[in-house]
Amino acid sequence: MLLSKRHVAPRVLLIEDSEETRELSRITLESQACDVVAVSSAEAALGLLQAGERFDLVFTDVCLGGLSGIEAAHQIKQYQPGLPVLVTSGLEPAQVTGQLRPGMHFLPKPYSMSDLLDAIRSCFGAVETGQAA
C-alpha cells in the first residue's frame, strides 16, 4: 500500500541516531514503496539538502547528538519551506509542539510502525490540501 497517491515513490530523509530505530524505520518505509535516505545526524541531513538533494518528507528524532532535530527542522524549512517535516520524541508533547512551525508535525514516542505510517500519510495529506501542522 502506497503512502500517497500523489507520491508514487516518496523520497524520505530519515534522521535518527539510534541505529536500531533507524533501521526499523527505514525497513518500514521501504516496505511502503518509499525511497529512504537514512542518516545518523542532523548535520549529515543538512549537508544532503545543501548539496541539492530533494526529498518529499523529512522524518527526524528530536534528540540527536549535536544539532537537535528541532534545530535541523527549522533550518530545513529555510532551504525548502514546502517540505513537510515529521519530528518524533519521547519528551512530553508540550515540550516539542510549542517549537514546531507550519509544515512541521509531531509523532510521540513510543510509536508503532502503523503509527509512523499514519503520521506520514497525514503529513502528505496536509501538503496536498495546503494545511499546516
What is the structure's pLDDT at 12? Answer: 96
- Domain, as residue range, for 109: 11-128
Residue 114 falls inside a structural domain: yes
Residue 109 falls inside a structural domain: yes
Phi, psi of 37, rounded to the nearest 5 degrees: -110, 115
Number of domains in the chain: 1
Q: What CATH number did the domain enclosing 64 receive?
A: 3.40.50.2300
pTM of the predicted model, to two decimals?
A: 0.86
Residue 96 falls inside a structural domain: yes
Query: How many whole angstroms separate alpha carbon 14 and alpha carbon 39?
Result: 6
Residue 66 falls inside a structural domain: yes
Cis-peptide, bond into residue 110, ω within 30° of zero: yes
| Residue count (the chain) | 133
105: Cβ–Cβ under 8 A, 6 or more apart, which residues?
A: 84, 85, 86, 87, 119, 122, 123, 126, 133
Q: For 41-61, how does the pLDDT look when each residue is reduced to its tens digit (9 = 90+)?
A: 999 999 999 999 999 999 999
Residue 107 falls inside a structural domain: yes
Residue 6 falls inside a structural domain: no
What is the structure's pLDDT at 26? Answer: 95
Residue 74 falls inside a structural domain: yes
Going by pLDDT thresholds of 50, 70 and 90, the confidence category of residue 8 is low
Residue 45 falls inside a structural domain: yes
Output the CA angle 88-97-120, nearest 5 degrees: 45
What is the structure's pLDDT at 108? Answer: 95
Q: For 65-111, how does the pLDDT look when each residue is reduced to its tens digit (9 = 90+)?
A: 889 999 999 999 988 899 999 999 988 877 888 888 888 999 998 98
What is the structure's pLDDT at 130? Answer: 55
Between 9-13, 25-29, 30-34, 99-103, the lowest mean confidence (pLDDT) is in 99-103
Query: How many whole angstroms separate alpha carbon 63 and alpha carbon 80?
Result: 22
